[in-house]
Amino acid sequence: MPTVIQAQVRTPGGKNANRRLRKAGKIPAVVYGRGNPPIVVSVVPEEVQAILHSETGRNTIFSISVDGSEQNNAMVKAYQLDPVKGSLIHADFLQIAMDRLLELTVNVEITGEAEGVKLDGGIMDIVTREIQVECLPSDIPESIRVDVSHLKINDYIRVKNIQTDAKVRILSDPEVVIVTIVPPIKEEVPVEVAPEVAEPEVIKKGKVVEEGAEEEQKPKAPKPEPKQ
């Protein structure tokens, strides 16, 4: 990981200028802080990616120099990735003073195996994965560790239950839930439904007599014999 990022001042431009810059192996960036107006610069993306992929990630403190000027401590304030390729296409750097408090986001690291999971088959639900803290740059923690070993079914840990170094002050809402152990999901037993049986048709015995045919089927009366 580079300890110093060498940035070069650039002339602000539109999408075409930024596209040409990326083809040249650099990306647009902006440097803020220390009471100075923002400086529009270009940097080598691989150097920034090395910082982002380090153990401390965005909270890494490094040095930045603009056009060979004096090096200043800085952190990655924000960055943008290509939505398709996932490559780094823009970055913002915040120059910092080592004697001034910073507000920043720190990841939550879950440690231990909860009793409710190990013994009762519960499921651990991590509700909040990062919290806001305030501290000096030299006291930035790599993560906030939360031990869940003692948690049973339906137990939970809120922000106010977290123990941190005295040099780190938590700014997040104390009532926010960090992690909870929920009961195991019960599988529903399928209920067998008897297949519907069609009612048998009632077939009447005998021939079906069509309308108008009844009279034809009646025997005719014999003709009277002629008188002698």
pLDDT single digits (tens) 84-104: 999 999 999 999 999 999 999
Question: What is the 8-class DSSP label of residue 153?
Answer: T
Rounded to whole angstroms, the Cα distance separating 193 from 191 reads: 6
Q: What is the pLDDT of residues 120-172, one digit of tens each?
A: 999 999 999 999 999 999 999 999 999 999 999 999 999 999 999 899 999 99
- For domain 102-182, the CATH superfamily is Ribosomal protein L25, C-terminal domain (2.170.120.20)
Average pLDDT, integer, range 24-42: 91
Q: What is the pLDDT of residue 2?
A: 57
Span(s) in the chain for CATH 2.40.240.10: 4-95
Average pLDDT, integer, range 45-73: 92
Question: What is the 8-class DSSP label of residue 87?
Answer: -
Rounded to whole angstroms, the Cα distance separating 140 from 2 reads: 19
Q: How many CA atoms lie within 13 A of 210 on its CB side?
A: 3
- The residue among 225 and 23 whose pLDDT is bigger is 23
| Total-model pTM | 0.68
Span(s) in the chain for CATH 2.170.120.20: 102-182
Q: What is the dihedral of CA 94, 100, 104, 108, to 10 degrees?
A: 130
Q: What is the pLDDT of residue 110?
A: 96
pLDDT at 211 over 90: no
Average pLDDT, integer, range 6-35: 88
Amino acid at 25: G
Domain 4-95: assigned CATH number: 2.40.240.10
pLDDT at 212 over 90: no
- The residue among 155 and 220 whose pLDDT is bigger is 155
Q: Which band of pLDDT confidence, cut at 50, 70 and 90, is reported for residue 196?
A: low
Q: Name, in order, each residue with C-beta under 8 angstroms of 205's C-beta and a sequence gap of 6 or more.
A: none
Strands 144-147 and 177-182: unpaired
Judge whether 60 and 47 are in contact, CB under 8 Å.
no
